[in-house]
Each structure stands twice: as C-alpha cells, then as structure tokens.
Amino acid sequence: MKEYRSGFVGVIGRPNTGKSTLINALAGEKLVIVSAKPQTTRERIRIILTTERAQIIFYDTPGIHKPLHKLGEQMNTMSLNTLKLVDMVLWLVDLTEPPGKGDRWVVEALKESKLPVLVVFNKMDLNREFDPSGFLAQVGVTDWPWLKISALTGEGLSELLEKIEAQLPVGPQYYPAEMLTDRPESFMISELIREEILTHAEQEIPHSAAVVIEEFKERPNGKIYIRALILVERDSQKKIIIGREGGLLKKIGKNSREKIETFLEASVYLDLWVKTRKDWRNSLPLLRKLGYVEMEQ
C-alpha cells in the first residue's frame, strides 16, 4: 500500500488563465467565483481536496498583473508570497495567448523560489494542435515539465492530479476529510454577491466594487438575515449599480439571494446597500479592513 501524501500547491498565473475554473473542477464543486472579467480573484483562498491517496491544499491566487492602484499591488504581493507557503507550483498558462512580459516576470519569480513547477497549459479544447515547446523556449524554461488540460471540459485533470500527488511529500491529513475550504461562510457569501456584480455590471464597475458583510444572523423564525454593503469609488458608479428605479440592484440582490440560499441550504433575507468610498482601492487602512492586505510575516 502506498504511503499517504499531503501538501500545499500554489496555482499561479496571469489574469484570465482559468485558475478558479481549474480549482472548482478539481474540487468537484463551485468553491470560488468565476468571471470572464480579469482580476476576479482578489484574495488567496485555500481549497482542500481529500482523496484515498492524498490531501492536496490548493491556493487559488489573484492573477499577476501590472497594478494600477494599491489593491493591485496587494493582489500581486499575495500571489508571490504564496511561493513561501507551498510545496510545489502549478503555473497556469492560457495556451490561446502568446507569452508576454507578465509570463516572463512569473518565470523569474518561480526560478527564484526553487520550487518544483508544473506548467499547465489550459484551454486545450480551443486549440488541440498547440505545441508548448515554442512558448517554453520564448520564456526560457524548456526543461520544465508540462501538461495540456481543459479546466472547462475536464480533459487532462486525472493526469494532472496524478502528477501533483506524485510530487507531494509523504504526510498526514492537515484538515478533516469533509472540509473543502478554510474560509468562513461570511467570506463565501460576500464572494457570491461580488460574482453577481461582475456578471451584471458594466466593465469598469466590478473592479471598483467591494462587498462587506455587516450582519449575518439567524432570526427567531429560522430565516437567515444578511446585511451586505457594496462599496464603490464614485457616486456615478453608485447610480449605475442601483440602476434605473433600483432595477440592477434588485437583480443583483435576487440572484445573490438564490445562490446564498443554495449555499447555506436555508431561507435568506438579503438586505443590500450601496455606499461610496472615494478611491478605496488606494486606501491601505480600508484595504486592510477588507482583508486585501497581506499580513506582515
């Protein structure tokens, strides 16, 4: 009988490479939000996969990008600091995109970390003839092991798990087998609301919005009461989020409530508000309060 293995795996890459889609596919259920818009993931999230052979703790990380504000800087810091916490790295690459400066920056950080790296070329369903050798040559890592997958269709995921398990050290389960994430319910709820903002709001609005759960309690009638605050940076953005006669906010609220009820398996009253906090993405005190600032080591 093989020895049980366990360890921590960082999922690193540029925005929109499919990191969160991959995490959800490996976990077998939706645990992190997904959007076609870049920089959907803002925080480092642990997702726990337990099998008969191994326990793998994945770190879903923000996409590494050129920051335009302090929030972007903190997102990059979280991603790169993940390299201090893991046993190996999956470098996720969108095979439909040519290598860019961001990829070369990632490569240098990975080389410096001296961690085992598996290059995972995602979206093979869009280009089955793709040859990774050219991409790897352009970024100077022709000797790194690689694998082609499709997080969307599930192709290559069984082989990916086998490669991860083989790389992990022998060790015990760090978490109970039934535990899927170390994040509290309030965080998951705020992310479900933010996902609806990403889905329905205009291009610039989602990146300027944050969600804060101000109250979360069960009422005597058994219904869960949730008061959530959507923060935006300008009054014009607040008007857009609310929409004509409150239409967009109602839509976001209705869809969010339905998702939250499914997640909690309970009836929910969602009290949704919108407030302006000018330039909040450049306010370190507020970013710290929202959990977007990496704790000092």
For 62-71, what is each residue's pLDDT tens digit?
A: 766 565 667 7
Task: Give me the domain span that covers residue 278.
Answer: 185-290
Specify the CATH number for the domain of residue 215.
3.30.300.20
- Quick check: 297 pLDDT over 50? no
Would you call 277 helix, strand, or coil by DSSP? coil
Distant-in-sequence, close-in-space partners of 289: CB < 8 Å, separation ≥ 6: none
Strand order in the sheet with 54-60: 45-50, 54-60, 5-12, 88-94, 117-122, 146-148
- Quick check: 296 pLDDT over 50? no
Within a domain: 175: no
Provide the number of structural domains found in the chain: 2
pLDDT, mean of residues 94-110: 90
* Torsion angle (degrees, nearest 10) of CA 247, 253, 259, 263: 180
Within a domain: 83: yes
Give which of 271, 296, 293 is closest to 211, Cα–Cα.
Answer: 271
Do 95 and 201 lie in a common domain?
no
Can you give the pTM of this predicted structure?
Answer: 0.82
For 237-295, what is each residue's pLDDT tens digit?
A: 999 999 999 999 999 999 999 999 999 999 999 999 999 999 888 888 888 888 777 65
Distant-in-sequence, close-in-space partners of 105: CB < 8 Å, separation ≥ 6: 64
Within a domain: 180: no
pLDDT, position 66: 60
Do 135 and 255 lie in a common domain?
no
Distant-in-sequence, close-in-space partners of 3: CB < 8 Å, separation ≥ 6: 170
The DSSP element (H or E) to which 205 belongs, if any, is helix 204-207
- Quick check: 118 pLDDT over 90? yes
Phi and psi for 238 in degrees, rounded to 5?
Answer: -60, -45
Specify the CATH number for the domain of residue 144.
3.40.50.300
pLDDT, mean of residues 177-197: 90
Cα separation, 19 vs 25, in Å, equals 10
Do 115 and 202 lie in a common domain?
no
Cα separation, 146 vs 162, in Å, equals 13
Last residue of a domain, one of 138, 167, 196: 167
Cα separation, 134 vs 119, in Å, equals 13
pLDDT band at 90 (very low <50, low <70, confident <90, very high): very high
For residue 39, give the amino acid letter: Q
Cα separation, 295 vs 277, in Å, equals 23
For 24-55, what is each residue's pLDDT tens digit?
A: 899 887 777 666 555 556 567 889 999 999 99
